[in-house]
Amino acid sequence: MDLSSRRQLVETLIPIIRQAGKAALKLQKDDLAARTKEDGSPVTAADLASHRILRAACLASFPAIPVISEEDTPTAGADTNAAILLIDPLDGTKELIKGSDEFAVNIALVEDGRVGAGLIYAPARDRLFFSWGAGLAFEQTAAGLRRKLPYHLAPRAQPIALVSRSHCDPRTEALLAALKPCDVQEMGSSLKFAFVAAAEADFYLRLGPTMIWDCAAGQAIIEAAGGTVLRADGSSLAYRFNRTRKVDGFIAARTPELAAHVVTAMKALQTGNGVAESG
């Protein structure tokens, strides 16, 4: 898909993701009807309402593009050589249930295993982030105004590291200790990706396994804003639609230099050599 086609896709999806997010927000205030799925994760009426809106609208608007949603696992694997719309109807369900505003809706365009465009909408904060190519990452306000997400800002004296409020695993905690001094902040959902892309934080660490729909949209936006998302070993993070649909952790940083520093720290931990002081 060329740049113009990706932009058209994103512009079409903007009102759709807003509609889905607002439907989820309304149900947070009304009746969530929460239950537990077979994998132990929670699902609510808000997840399902968002899913129905997104799936129907995506199939109607882009009938030639397959859709993979967290709440509607397809019976057959997707063709990784084709364009795919990857949807998380509600990322941060646990936060939603607790009454927090840290939940979001994710949509990503994945082509040949690589992210080409992404949208993240946090309805309780009315913050919408999206991208469709290098240097083309934006935040749109409720009034429809857009600001381009920054490429390079001066480094902070003490980097801000974001971690999951619900899934901070021991490997991530060890890496955070090795990277000190840094300001560690816990947060729910894919908003962590959006904050890194907006330079409101410096990196987001998740070394435990996660699902592809939790990170694809965020990766698209961070990389469009000049940052990078890598596997823990420093290799590129690509998407293969296997049976598990899992990613074995990642490092998301607002600049390649920050990402390289985190990867170096990770490798030093693995070899037991300690970590060099950050400059």
Q: How many CB atoms lie within 10 A of CB 183?
A: 14
Q: What is the pLDDT of residues 250-262, one digit of tens each?
A: 999 999 999 999 9
| 8 Å CB contact between 123 and 111 | no
**pLDDT value at residue 79:** 53
- Examine the domain organization and report whether 263 and 173 are in the same domain: yes
What percentage of the chain exceeds 70 in pLDDT? 92
**pLDDT value at residue 80:** 55
Mean pLDDT over 53-66 rounds to 96
Query: Which residue matches tokens 């009315």?
Result: 126
- Examine the domain organization and report whether 73 and 176 are in the same domain: no
Let me know if residue 55 belongs to a domain: yes
Look up the domain containing 82 and give its range. Answer: 3-148
**pLDDT value at residue 75:** 47
Distance CA 106, CA 215 (A): 9
Q: What is the pLDDT of residues 5-25, one digit of tens each?
A: 999 999 999 999 999 999 999
Q: What is the pLDDT of residues 74-118, one digit of tens each?
A: 544 455 558 999 999 999 999 999 999 999 999 999 999 899 999
Q: What is the pLDDT of residues 116-171, one digit of tens each?
A: 999 999 999 999 999 999 999 999 987 888 999 976 677 788 999 999 887 777 88
- Examine the domain organization and report whether 177 and 245 are in the same domain: yes
- Examine the domain organization and report whether 129 and 170 are in the same domain: no
Q: Give the contacts of 231 (CB within 8 A, at least 6 positions apart).
A: 237, 248, 249, 250, 251
- Examine the domain organization and report whether 17 and 95 are in the same domain: yes
- Examine the domain organization and report whether 184 and 99 are in the same domain: no
Distance CA 110, CA 86 (A): 7
- Examine the domain organization and report whether 189 and 63 are in the same domain: no
**pLDDT value at residue 72:** 79
Distance CA 20, CA 230 (A): 29
- Examine the domain organization and report whether 186 and 249 are in the same domain: yes
Whole-number average pLDDT of the chain? 89
Q: What is the pLDDT of residues 264-278, one digit of tens each?
A: 998 888 887 544 443
- Examine the domain organization and report whether 104 and 133 are in the same domain: yes
Can you give the CATH number for the domain in which 190 is found?
3.40.190.80
- Examine the domain organization and report whether 138 and 242 are in the same domain: no
More confident residue, 233 or 146: 146
The model carries a pTM of 0.92
- In Å, how far are 47, 55, 61, 65, 226 from 16, measured between CA atoms? 15, 10, 10, 16, 26
Domain count, the chain: 2
Let me know if residue 218 belongs to a domain: yes
- Examine the domain organization and report whether 119 and 164 are in the same domain: no
- In Å, how far are 35, 39, 46 from 97, measured between CA atoms? 11, 18, 10
Can you give the CATH number for the domain in which 93 is found?
3.30.540.10
- In Å, how far are 108, 128, 203, 251 from 256, measured between CA atoms? 22, 24, 11, 11
- Examine the domain organization and report whether 133 and 170 are in the same domain: no
Distance CA 172, CA 176 (A): 6
- In Å, how far are 196, 237, 275 from 172, measured between CA atoms? 17, 18, 15
Mean pLDDT over 190-205 rounds to 95
* pLDDT at residue 42 is higher than 50: yes
Distance CA 9, CA 131 (A): 10
Strands 146-148 and 160-164, sheet pairing:
unpaired
